[in-house]
Structure 1
Amino acid sequence: MEILVTGGAGFIGGHLAEQFVADGHDVRVLDNLDPFYDIGIKEHTIERCRERAESGDGSYEFIDGDVRDEETVTETVSGAEMIYHQAAQAGVRPSVENPRKYDDVNVDGTLNILDAARAADVERVVYASSSSVYGKPKYLPYDEDHPTTPVSPYGASKLAAERYACAYNEVYDINTVALRYFTVYGPRMRPNMAISNFVSRCLNGEPPVIYGDGTQTRDFTFIEDVVTANKRLLREDAADGEAVNIGSTDNIEIRVLAEEIRDMLAPDLELEFAERHDADAEHTHAGTEKAAELLDYEPTHTIREGVEEFVEWYRANREWYEPLVLSS
């Protein structure tokens, strides 16, 4: 199958691209290598995908381009049967400083993808949405009927793009699915995320830094579970037109997470606390009954199992990964 992965040099997109190539698909990646974090991590991802293609039946093509460029998008979408639209301007806190960029990339960029997909008769567009669309919880866990009242420009931009994707499913002859990810983590994750930050600091003898009092909770989702959910959509049409939570069904206090990572790696360290940002979510917790029904989705990693696996990977890849994490 011909698959386009936008943002395919990033964390989630890179894992999708690598898996699709390994499965024998012909994969095209569109990514502008935005330096939101050290692009060395993205370059490593690109190299892994090329190695997969050389050793297997799939093919891999990398295109350095931006989803905001209509001409580039039109050319790149041509010939694709499936699109996994992962490209986005990430980061809740930076969105407060520069909301216009988030609208340009996340909303207008998504519209470029959707319009090109319509014209090219693409089979399905899978849009990477976010738990940030929910905002302050009225109840937990979040189900897909929970009010969507995002509290950051990032969340607002992801919700707007998600709604466009689902609307295109209704009024145009194109299948779309929006997957609402809950704090994805794992190998090659962004260095400015809580888990990678805690691990890198502890391994270097520095105390984990917690923003706020640490009582806020997160539903962390291991990357392998996210990849599995996306792979189901290569063949499954039951979720077309829907927004679907992809989480772990588990959640943990940030302070407890920091303590457990500290106890695992550097038990003599004390925790440090810094001011919490207003745009940060207080709690996240995914209800995944809809994903189970439509996609036969069942997460396989608890947070503790996933963190142990990430730590093992970090140690094995410390030589190249850690310098990039510390420089970001």
Structure 2
Amino acid sequence: MRILVTGGAGFIGGHLAEKFSRDGHDVVAFDNFEPFYDVGIKEHNVETAQRAAAEGDGSYELIEGDLRDEEVISQYVAEADVIFHQAAQAGVRASVKEPQKVNDINVSGTLNVLEAARDSETERVVVASSSSVYGKPEYLPYDENHSTTPVSPYGASKLAQEQYARVYNEVYGLPTVSLRYFTVYGPRMRPNMAISNFVSRCLNGEPPVIYGDGTQTRDFTYIDDVVEANRTLLTTDTADGEVLNIGSTDNIEIRTLAKEIRDQLSPDLELEYDERNDADAEHTHADISKANDLLGYEPTMTIRKGVEEFADWYRENRDWYEPLVRSS
């Protein structure tokens, strides 16, 4: 199968490209190498996917380009059987500073992908959305019928992506699925995330820093579970036109997460607290029953086991990864 992964050098996109290449598919990874964080980590994502293709029966091609370039994105969309649209201007806090840029990339760029797919033989477009679309919870866990009142430009852009995907399915018959990810983590994750920072500080004998009082809760989802949900959509149309939560097996307070990492890596450290950013969501917790019903989605990684897996990977890759975390 010919697969286009936009944002294919990023965290989730890189893992998808790696898995699909290893599985024997022909993968094109499309990425603009936006320096939201050090591009060195994207280079590692590319190298990992290239090795996977060499070890398996698939192929891998990297294209450096921008979603906002209609002509370029149309060319690669037209050649793909399935599109995994992961590319976006990431970052809730960054979106508060540059809302127009977020809109241009996330919304206008997505429209370019959908419009190109509408005019092609594309079998399905899978759009990466986010739990940020929910905003302040009216109840937990969030199900897909919960109201969507995002509290950041990033969340608003992700909601717009979903709505355009739904409209292209309903009006033009383009098979689309939107996946609302809940705080994805794992090897080669963005270096400015809470888990990577907690692990780095503990391994260096420094106390984890918690922003706010730490009672914020998150549904942390391991990257392998996210990849499996996407992989299922290569061969099933049961979720076409739908929006699905992709979360984990449990929900955890940030301060409890920090304690868990501290206790695993450096039990003698005290926790530190700093001012919370207002753009950060207070709570996220996914009801994944719809994804289970339509895709058979069953996340397998608990937060404790996931932290252990990530910490082991961190130690093995510390030479190149830690400088990125420390500078983020």
Alignment TM-score, normalising by the size of structure 1:
0.99
**Aligned position for 1:288:** 288
**Aligned position for 1:265:** 265
**Aligned position for 2:193:** 193
How far off its partner does 1:249 sit?
Answer: 3.7
Cα-to-partner distance string for 1:149-202 (whole Å, 9 max, x where unaligned) = 101110000001111011100001310000000000000000111100100111
The question of whether the paired residues in 2 share the 8 Å contact of 1:213 and 1:273 is answered with yes
DSSP-derived class of the 2:128 partner: strand
DSSP-derived class of the 1:8 partner: coil
How far off its partner does 1:322 sit?
Answer: 1.3
The question of whether the paired residues in 1 share the 8 Å contact of 2:249 and 2:301 is answered with no
The question of whether the paired residues in 1 share the 8 Å contact of 2:26 and 2:60 is answered with yes
The question of whether the paired residues in 2 share the 8 Å contact of 1:133 and 1:149 is answered with yes
Cα-to-partner distance string for 1:207-247 (whole Å, 9 max, x where unaligned) = 11111000010000000000000000001101000000000
**Aligned position for 1:237:** 237
Identical-residue share of aligned pairs (%): 73
Q: Does 1:300 align with 2:300?
A: yes
List aligned pairs for 1:133-144, cutoff 5 A. 133-144=133-144
Cα-to-partner distance string for 1:237-277 (whole Å, 9 max, x where unaligned) = 01000000000141000001101111111122221111111
Q: Does 1:53 align with 2:65?
A: no
Q: Which moved more, 1:111-120 or 1:311-320?
A: 311-320
The question of whether the paired residues in 1 share the 8 Å contact of 2:214 and 2:255 is answered with yes
**Aligned position for 1:79:** 79
- Letter paired with 2:313: W
**Aligned position for 1:168:** 168
Q: 2-side partners of 1:41 and 1:101: how far apart? A: 22
**Aligned position for 1:20:** 20
The question of whether the paired residues in 2 share the 8 Å contact of 1:121 and 1:174 is answered with no
How far off its partner does 1:324 sit?
Answer: 2.2
DSSP-derived class of the 2:180 partner: strand
Q: 2-side partners of 1:249 and 1:112: how far apart? A: 35
The question of whether the paired residues in 1 share the 8 Å contact of 2:31 and 2:87 is answered with yes
Q: Which runs of 4+ in 1 moved over 4 A?
A: none
How far off its partner does 1:62 sit?
Answer: 0.2
Q: Which moved more, 1:149-158 or 1:263-272?
A: 263-272
The question of whether the paired residues in 2 share the 8 Å contact of 1:249 and 1:288 is answered with no
DSSP-derived class of the 1:60 partner: strand
The question of whether the paired residues in 2 share the 8 Å contact of 1:218 and 1:253 is answered with yes
Q: 1-side partners of 2:308 and 2:236: how far apart? A: 32
Structure 2: tracts of 5 or more residues without a match? none
**Aligned position for 2:70:** 70
**Aligned position for 2:40:** 40
- Letter paired with 2:146: H
List aligned pairs for 1:115-154, cutoff 5 A. 115-154=115-154
The question of whether the paired residues in 1 share the 8 Å contact of 2:249 and 2:300 is answered with no
The question of whether the paired residues in 1 share the 8 Å contact of 2:78 and 2:121 is answered with no
Q: 1-side partners of 2:303 and 2:55: how far apart? A: 33
Q: 2-side partners of 1:117 and 1:204: how far apart? A: 48
How has the CA–CA distance of structure 1 residues 56 and 249 changed in structure 2, closer, same or farther, with 3 Å as cutoff? closer
Q: 2-side partners of 1:205 and 1:66: how far apart? A: 41
- Letter paired with 2:203: L
Q: 2-side partners of 1:195 and 1:102: how far apart? A: 25
Cα-to-partner distance string for 1:49-103 (whole Å, 9 max, x where unaligned) = 1112222210000000011111111112121000000000111111111100110
Q: 2-side partners of 1:173 and 1:164: how far apart? A: 12
Number of aligned residue pairs: give it. Answer: 328
Alignment TM-score, normalising by the size of structure 2:
0.99
- Letter paired with 1:169: N
Q: 1-side partners of 2:56 and 2:233: how far apart? A: 22
DSSP-derived class of the 2:119 partner: helix
DSSP-derived class of the 2:129 partner: strand
- Letter paired with 2:182: F
Q: 1-side partners of 2:28 and 2:255: how far apart? A: 40
DSSP-derived class of the 2:63 partner: strand
